[in-house]
Structure 1
Amino acid sequence: MAVSIDGPLTLPVDGPLTAAWLRQRRQRWVERSEFDIGYPNAVDYPDGDDFDLSISEILAGVSLNNVGHPFTPTSGFSGHSLPLEQQLIRELGAMFRCPPGSVTGFVTSGSTESVRAALLAARRRFRRRAVVYASTAAHTCVAKVTEELCLPLQLVPAGAGGGMDYAALTTLVAQRRRGLAVVVVATIGTTMVEAVDDVPAVHAALDAAGVPAGRRWVHADAALAGIPLAMLDPADRPGFDFGDGADSLNISGHKYLAVNTSCSALVLREDRCAPLNPTPTYTGAPDLTPAGSRSGHTPVLMLAALHGFGTDGLRSRAETCRSHAAALVELLTAADVPAWRHKDAFTVVFPAPSDRLRARWPLPVQDGWGHVICMPGKPFTRYERFAAEYLADRRDHGGHPLPGRPTAVAADLEDAIAC
């Protein structure tokens, strides 16, 4: 008996996992990745120029377990990369304008774990007496982790462009039970349309609701868009980071940084965090992290990506992605498709394709809209190929009707297209 995986490739239930099978499977993964344009994974990891071997090969035979606080390295064992993790967090802190004397944080398995750790830090600060607010367009992990942490969650309507409705936030916060602190998750690039919540506007809404400065925490979930937005000219950069009032911020390593395994970095303001737990004797370092044992490889991979691309490379890659997204919007709108994107976004939104086309191009769909995300390492010819098949699909089906305008889609398509 065999279990089918994507057609002809099968793995015997009772047999071993062999190198031959994995080589076959790797080829299938590579082939199918040509059609993955709806998920935000960059594929241009800077591997090899400054190394005799690829970074992954260098790390392959080494066991690295990062336990404890990166800023207080363990004395319990030597198989870790905590100093490099500390360097990564410091460099990201500088990128996102965290006060140098206040930066702390660590690397996690992904942005869901980072969001969980940020909300856990907020819960500790406020001794569990807090309410979490996030927009209806926030990542679904927010609802999951607030349930895990037993924190009440209040969803705030998203406005016409997909960002948080700040007037609604003021109203909802003002209605909370007296004495409860306020934790807001600002989404810096929503999953479907890449809308950016404005952190200064969040603080203005909390001011209007009468929330004292010491009784609020704003987390910026910047999984995809954080680094690209940080590369913008300061005059054009939206308000989303520590310089704009964030208390914590996360980015994903497997998205814009092109790391080929899931990972994330959480940066925190240490002066906002509660005291650490007592130091375990077997590690010799206090544990800031919810996970305890963490990969020591992913901090190295993320730091190598930051250094490999460099500031100029990070900026150039973002400009190329935006150029590709703008060109795709132009290509589709020239064929009378109501495609659009937010200013500075990599994400192009358009009426959802047919199920038949989505079987070939696995794109996410919400409320009748689909999207493509133009990412580093994916050539524009790939998006042109999709557009040609999408337009043919529309002709075959007599054109897709314009979906209703959901909360997360711009109210005025003409203005949105112009962006």
Structure 2
Amino acid sequence: MASHFPVNKLSTNGAEPSDHYDREAMMMIPDQNDMGEESNLQVGEDFAVVEPKDEECSVERLHHLSKIVTQFQDHLRERASNYLGYPGNQNCSHYLALSTLLQFNINNAGDPFKKSDHGLHSKKFEVGVLDWFARLWGIDKDEYWGYVTNGGTESNFHGILLGRELLPNGILYTSEESHYSLFKIARMYRMDCETIASLATGEMDCDDLRDKLLMNKDRPAIINITIGTTFKGAVDDLDLVVQTLTDCGFSDNQFYIHCDAAISGFVVPFLKQVPKFTFKKPIGSVSISGHKFLGCPMPCGVLITRRRYINLISRSIEYIASFDTTIAGSRNGHSPIFMWYVLNIKGWKGLKQDVEKCRKNARYLRHRLKKEGISSMLNEMSITVVFERPPDNEFVRHWQLQCLGNMAHVLVMPHVTVEMLERFLYDLIRKRKTWYGKVHPPCLAEDVGICNCACAVHACI
């Protein structure tokens, strides 16, 4: 029988900040009962849209709306100060310099490399961003194609689509630690999918991959490689995967490899003496997120592939005077400018410094957890620290932790400071005494490996 862990109802964190915010904000919204015959159309929860009254002063209404937005801004600032469990960099203040661009509706519909009659686009910025990533991933300008997407999921959709069009009878192989979008892609594309087991580190188990490839030798393989798994931050071994394909008799024209680098795509390239993912190796596409480590204030991503593959899906669309080569039709024209801006501000040197800082802070957090006898794990090429799941839901909400089974994790993004980690550790260590008392913390040996488990059984091993 599983142990019962009491919830700490006397948590000094107090009420969830959003609860207080919602109550205060609701006080500023006009009484719905005063809205006359159409009130039944306006009633909603929390932030319902309220139709302006004919006699209402526009200046007063704008002031009223500004107060709500300002209070929401304060709420976001408070929540960002405890933002530890999700893969988003909250250092976004430098983007305020681009706020004047919000007066324009910028749409990058169509192929980023094709001219369009639509003049309000930012494709020159987009191509500049794509060129930077092409250099990062080792592919010449005349050999690559890509675009700025709405995020990692869309990028994965595009990369796997190219693999399926190139190898229509292919089977999708992806590890159990892959991002959930991969399994959604398999369902939506109606592809046969083999889920590959993972090691305790979260890395793809290539022994299991070999077994499943040999069972399906008569069909091509479409492989998803994860560069930074969602929960453990593990990096699949690209070289070992390629060697496994070769050992199983798959020639270059019988497999397609997509690299999902949403989490660690900005980390691995800056590390020394580690295997790189690059187009110098037999990969077909790479995707990355722009709102995670890079810190763009809106979801966005990048997809890069080999130019020769794009003709598989390209279609000319006369009325937009461009080619349909992307998953989305209308595309956010602001996000390429934001990505271009931060890449120019930071450059290779600045990003490398961010990586070094994050890795140093992640190692510090892991060291402190281990010193306190708390089960924890940090992969070599990762900034994700995995540890035992707190049994207090209020604590989890306050620090905005992601949880899976017996595990929780902290993603040490560039906005995460030592001071923030110290506050988190103080809170965790203090409350942990209340949560467990005489009850032992859970065993995490199966989740993170015996060497990382600090439970009563494995602590002395």
> Which residue among 122, 129, 136 is the counterpart of 1:88?
129
How many Å separate the matches in 1 of 2:247 and 2:336?
40
**Could you say which residue in structure 1 is the equivalent of 2:323?**
286
By how many angstroms is 1:311 displaced? 0.6
By how many angstroms is 1:337 displaced? 1.5
By how many angstroms is 1:398 displaced? 2.9
* 1:151 counterpart letter in structure 2: M
Matched, 1:182 2:221: yes
Confirm or deny: 8 A CA contact 1:162 1:410 kept in the other structure: no
Within-5 A mapping of 1:2-401: 7-8=22-23, 9-10=25-26, 11=46, 13=48, 15-16=50-51, 18-45=65-92, 47=94, 54-74=96-116, 76-126=117-167, 128-176=168-216, 178=218, 180-233=219-272, 236-355=273-392, 356-398=394-436, 401=441
Q: Using a 3 Å threshold, how does the CA distance of structure 1 residues 352 and 72 change in structure 2: closer, same or farther?
A: same
How many Å separate the matches in 1 of 2:446 and 2:330?
42
How many Å separate the matches in 2 of 1:405 and 1:261?
38
By how many angstroms is 1:198 displaced? 1.2
* 2:276 counterpart letter in structure 1: G
The two structures, once aligned, show a CA RMSD in angstroms of: 2.2
By how many angstroms is 1:403 displaced? 2.7
How many Å separate the matches in 2 of 1:12 and 1:337?
41
SS in 1 for 2:326: coil
By how many angstroms is 1:43 displaced? 2.2
Confirm or deny: 8 A CA contact 1:124 1:274 kept in the other structure: no
By how many angstroms is 1:274 displaced? 3.9
**Could you say which residue in structure 2 is the equivalent of 1:51?**
none
Confirm or deny: 8 A CA contact 2:235 2:381 kept in the other structure: no
Confirm or deny: 8 A CA contact 1:352 1:370 kept in the other structure: yes
Percent identity, aligned pairs only?
A: 26
Confirm or deny: 8 A CA contact 1:321 1:375 kept in the other structure: yes
Deviation per residue, 1:46-96 (Å, 9 max, x gap): 727xxxxx343131111111111112232x211111122112111101101
How many Å separate the matches in 2 of 1:369 and 1:21?
37
Q: Using a 3 Å threshold, how does the CA distance of structure 1 residues 77 and 274 change in structure 2: closer, same or farther?
A: closer
In the alignment, structure 2 segments of 5+ residues that lack a partner are 1-17, 27-45, 52-63
How many Å separate the matches in 2 of 1:56 and 1:190?
32
How many Å separate the matches in 2 of 1:321 and 1:392?
25
* 2:255 counterpart letter in structure 1: R
* 2:364 counterpart letter in structure 1: A
Q: Using a 3 Å threshold, how does the CA distance of structure 1 residues 359 and 278 change in structure 2: closer, same or farther?
A: closer
* 2:50 counterpart letter in structure 1: G
Q: Using a 3 Å threshold, how does the CA distance of structure 1 residues 284 and 406 change in structure 2: closer, same or farther?
A: farther
| Structure ID, larger Rg | 2
Q: Using a 3 Å threshold, how does the CA distance of structure 1 residues 211 and 312 change in structure 2: closer, same or farther?
A: same
Confirm or deny: 8 A CA contact 1:193 1:347 kept in the other structure: yes
Q: Using a 3 Å threshold, how does the CA distance of structure 1 residues 307 and 406 change in structure 2: closer, same or farther?
A: farther
**Of Structure 1 and Structure 2, which has the larger fraction of its residues in helix?**
2
How many Å separate the matches in 1 of 2:49 and 2:165?
47
TM-score (normalizing by structure 1): 0.90
By how many angstroms is 1:135 displaced? 0.3
Confirm or deny: 8 A CA contact 2:315 2:325 kept in the other structure: no
By how many angstroms is 1:6 displaced? 5.7
* 2:207 counterpart letter in structure 1: A
Confirm or deny: 8 A CA contact 2:90 2:415 kept in the other structure: yes
Q: Using a 3 Å threshold, how does the CA distance of structure 1 residues 277 and 367 change in structure 2: closer, same or farther?
A: same
Q: Using a 3 Å threshold, how does the CA distance of structure 1 residues 260 and 394 change in structure 2: closer, same or farther?
A: same
Confirm or deny: 8 A CA contact 1:122 1:273 kept in the other structure: no
Confirm or deny: 8 A CA contact 1:121 1:274 kept in the other structure: no
How many Å separate the matches in 2 of 1:143 and 1:403?
29
Question: 139-148 vs 277-286, which deviates more?
Answer: 277-286
By how many angstroms is 1:28 displaced? 0.9
How many Å separate the matches in 1 of 2:173 and 2:379?
24
Confirm or deny: 8 A CA contact 1:55 1:301 kept in the other structure: no
Confirm or deny: 8 A CA contact 1:64 1:296 kept in the other structure: yes
Question: 239-248 vs 370-379, which deviates more?
Answer: 239-248
By how many angstroms is 1:20 displaced? 2.2
Confirm or deny: 8 A CA contact 2:375 2:444 kept in the other structure: no
By how many angstroms is 1:5 displaced? 8.5
Q: Using a 3 Å threshold, how does the CA distance of structure 1 residues 175 and 55 change in structure 2: closer, same or farther?
A: farther
